[in-house]
Structure 1
């Protein structure tokens, strides 16, 4: 994997279509809205966009429950709209990645509607069906990520079906060769249409344990999770049998063989398992996925020690693949709030963009990160997320990171002429893109400046990474590529810090962050400051 590919070191901007821009006044974003703002995205200096699902769906999980893999939901537009979006993105030099949700679909998909009717129809074995235990209870103890048992009774067949997520998201039976072939054909449909890459949702969930063995219990002290409620019973088990099965590796190799028939496709797998770093390393090899994306930096721990340990652990395991990092997405609390609390300031928001874009690998930036948006507080009566409704009030779900993009300070934040599907908080309207574009000191202009500068630093785009010992508030590492050696350091605390440099260094201007200063061999950081220095 030494040949230069577009996705190596790329900055990928995640667009959540429902919340990006609404052009028809129904309060929900759409594909024409993305098309209308492609110039804005290109001006950020990113390399690609990743568009969350826009396929036909009943929207029980807002598009991650697909009813037709080859069509656009009318809520978002048409296939022609997608083609126009793709054409303009390419004209602007942007690559386009789309979500592919292969492990499960909607219960409204034609496959499942047929499968549930009987035990002997052509699609009878396309989903994970199992008989009840003698007492009528589910076939094993597997739990759904969204709470409760992972099995739903179907009276037409007199059997249970598996759903690792919502009951309306039945799991496909990847042990069946026709299922694997059908999903590869669906992927081929979009590759033929001209997409440049795939973000593979929950890709380690494709196969289940064919013996349906119970998952073992997890000790109480280990019941910590990433991105889900701490009181979710899902955390009570080791999920050894309902995902991340060895058969998945063969499917990934078949998928890669398909991708390799097309020029320079990038496949990014979302991986959440009991040992996500080990699974990411196993999945990202020259004959499997190009990149892996796990949840280790989507936690509440933002300490330099944790970030260093996480990146070093993946570096040690991933000897062949290419990592991809994110600190925010559509499933977790926004990083500015998660890592900075309710009073987080713009210095942190600027620093976070620079930090994640300085690690080795590719980067996913979530829409609004470039504006420094904090988590929105969505009241229960406005809540849409079924996950949040199920675990309210201890866990408010994912709506707080999914509120519409604030484009202007208008009542609808320039997002929609109608009533937005989620409310736009005043704090977001005050940070709208229009006002930030005019402010040279804004988070938006800091992000633009940093991303433009990053493109001129080969070591940041493709280099190796080696961490250095530093004060506990400081994350410091060396990036090296093609003779360029850069020392990069960030003060992750809200107070000034000094560090005696371990080697001679020449400070470089690092736009987009509050800059540190060199005084002899001492590096003086302001609160939330950063530095980049050339090493001899």
Structure 2
């Protein structure tokens, strides 16, 4: 295939550090818009809906994987890093998407899955054929123990041992996820080179950056040492559901290896050849998430930003918890740059996860746009969509099928986007959707909310715009967060602009004093007019005030 110069698809002209404080809109392509009638979203569907995305005021889109894949894990099992799976379209369709996005001022980030491939990838097919071929060392292979059992005690996130026996090589291969997702061996220089070449392929096609899946899983311990047990009091369900034995180990050797830093420097050097590009890494670790964020986002040494799982956890985000996370961030990663998300394609939608009503949804959307860091929003979040209920017989997610009914998988957050309420498929497809459209979502569709003056959709637009035009919110400093019960307060500053932010993250009124000086309201819901004693915020109320 002929490489295409970035000059043909110029990125939107603005600050090369657009990512610092930028807002990124995640698109799950299978569920965004279908144009072919097969019930599966596609690239042309994304292109058709880009004017809507641009209307939100976001800086960029992140598209989950659309590469050639057998779809055992719905694109996160790649069999060709340089092509589009036919169900999503063609390379030409992707090029048109890039052009359309750039015309609308949107940057395009794509999901790179580098830690593992599909077992259908030609690399793995060759690697497993024997022990002496050119790619024999491209995956993590190991001999059995003398008794024939697995090489060590490592566990797969999808349940059971992280090793699978291959009869052809008479060895086990490592798979941190599905059996059909063998882990690449990053200790092999040729593997790094091949993956960086694939990265360059997309950069030359005009992408503006990447979301790096499981960024801390790239390297495994070269000695394959056992992971120690994790005491019960330290276990949590940030990365895997509580019913998964993966939570019983401290994953010292199966991920988070120091060699990763050298590879990320190589990755960053490649990005720097394409000014204005950026990457956000997914740090999947329940104990060391912030520490790894700090290591991986060192200036010029790694990716520009990372997100940990602190705001994706099952427990509702309280004022105290927000302050704890930022205290930890300031200690573990004082120079790091976080990218915050409340929802994505892997977790229960936060409106359901945290039991939020309309007021709560508005408060949290404002909060995430006021915190220091960048922001990822997940498709449908701006509509306040709850988690969909998907019957067992309709499940597609192998994770949910494995742990049903204690854990129902990820399909509930992946059901199709609802564009209108006039038909049972919500305007997503003319065919049978790959997952059922949630009937309860139809009344919250884009078409319905566009015509409601006080809809949550318009609130998101207003708050994103507020962040965009106020440098203090976008990339300013943030003082120490103060907590008083459910009340969270902090100050954002940049140049001569200072904003006081107060959020009542509970259902009872809360009173706060204003800092010294004169303050004028900028944005707020559910509060009294400030007086000499301060102001009162009703339940789920908040205010933003500017110093004059």
TM-superposition CA deviations, 1:425-444 (whole Å, max 9, x none) = 22211100001011111000
Asked whether the 8 Å contact 1:114–1:123 carries over to 2, the reply is: yes
Which residue is 1:141 aligned to? 153
Which residue is 1:405 aligned to? 417
TM-superposition CA deviations, 1:286-306 (whole Å, max 9, x none) = 221111111111012411101
Question: For this pair of structures, how many residues does the alignment match?
Answer: 530
Q: Cα 1:452–1:166, aligned 2, differ >3 Å: closer, same or farther?
A: same
Q: Cα 1:101–1:446, aligned 2, differ >3 Å: closer, same or farther?
A: same
Asked whether the 8 Å contact 1:35–1:88 carries over to 2, the reply is: yes
Asked whether the 8 Å contact 1:227–1:298 carries over to 2, the reply is: no
Q: Hey, what's the Cα distance between the residues in 1 that align with 2:84 and 2:312? A: 30
Asked whether the 8 Å contact 2:520–2:547 carries over to 1, the reply is: no
Give the RMSD, CA atoms, in angstroms. Answer: 1.3
Give 1:227 deviation, angstroms: 4.2
Asked whether the 8 Å contact 2:16–2:275 carries over to 1, the reply is: no
Asked whether the 8 Å contact 2:527–2:535 carries over to 1, the reply is: no
Residue 233 (structure 2) pairs with residue 218 (structure 1): no
Which residue is 1:334 aligned to? 349
Give 1:502 deviation, angstroms: 4.4
Residue 516 (structure 2) pairs with residue 474 (structure 1): no
TM-superposition CA deviations, 1:282-332 (whole Å, max 9, x none) = 110122111111111101241110111102211233233322111111111
Residue 424 (structure 2) pairs with residue 416 (structure 1): no
TM-score by length of 2: 0.95
TM-superposition CA deviations, 1:222-279 (whole Å, max 9, x none) = 2212142101000000000011101000000011111111111111111112311001
Asked whether the 8 Å contact 1:147–1:233 carries over to 2, the reply is: yes
Question: After the TM superposition, which residues 14-413 of structure 1 pair with which residues of structure 2 at under 5 Å, given as runs?
Answer: 14-273=26-285, 274-286=287-299, 287-299=301-313, 300-339=315-354, 341=355, 344-409=356-421, 410-413=423-426
SS of alignment partner, residue 193 of structure 1: coil
Q: Hey, what's the Cα distance between the residues in 2 that align with 1:52 and 1:378? A: 21
Q: Cα 1:198–1:212, aligned 2, differ >3 Å: closer, same or farther?
A: same
Q: Which 4+ runs in 1 deviate beyond 4 A?
A: 513-516
Q: Cα 1:442–1:515, aligned 2, differ >3 Å: closer, same or farther?
A: farther
Q: Hey, what's the Cα distance between the residues in 1 that align with 2:526 and 2:114? A: 43
Q: Hey, what's the Cα distance between the residues in 2 that align with 1:202 and 1:497? A: 40
SS of alignment partner, residue 527 of structure 1: strand
SS of alignment partner, residue 519 of structure 1: coil
TM-score by length of 1: 0.97
SS of alignment partner, residue 98 of structure 1: strand
Q: Hey, what's the Cα distance between the residues in 2 that align with 1:470 and 1:128? A: 47
Q: Hey, what's the Cα distance between the residues in 1 that align with 2:405 and 2:502? A: 39
Give 1:495 deviation, angstroms: 2.7
Give 1:516 deviation, angstroms: 5.4
SS of alignment partner, residue 322 of structure 1: coil
**Which stretch shifts more, 220-229 or 111-120?**
220-229
Asked whether the 8 Å contact 2:323–2:482 carries over to 1, the reply is: no
Asked whether the 8 Å contact 1:267–1:289 carries over to 2, the reply is: yes
Which residue is 1:490 aligned to? 503
SS of alignment partner, residue 82 of structure 2: strand
Structure 2 unmatched runs, 5+: 1-14
Q: Cα 1:352–1:516, aligned 2, differ >3 Å: closer, same or farther?
A: farther
Which residue is 2:7 aligned to? none
Q: Hey, what's the Cα distance between the residues in 2 that align with 1:177 and 1:268? A: 23
Q: Cα 1:517–1:66, aligned 2, differ >3 Å: closer, same or farther?
A: farther
Q: Cα 1:243–1:97, aligned 2, differ >3 Å: closer, same or farther?
A: same
Asked whether the 8 Å contact 1:516–1:529 carries over to 2, the reply is: no
Which residue is 2:9 aligned to? none
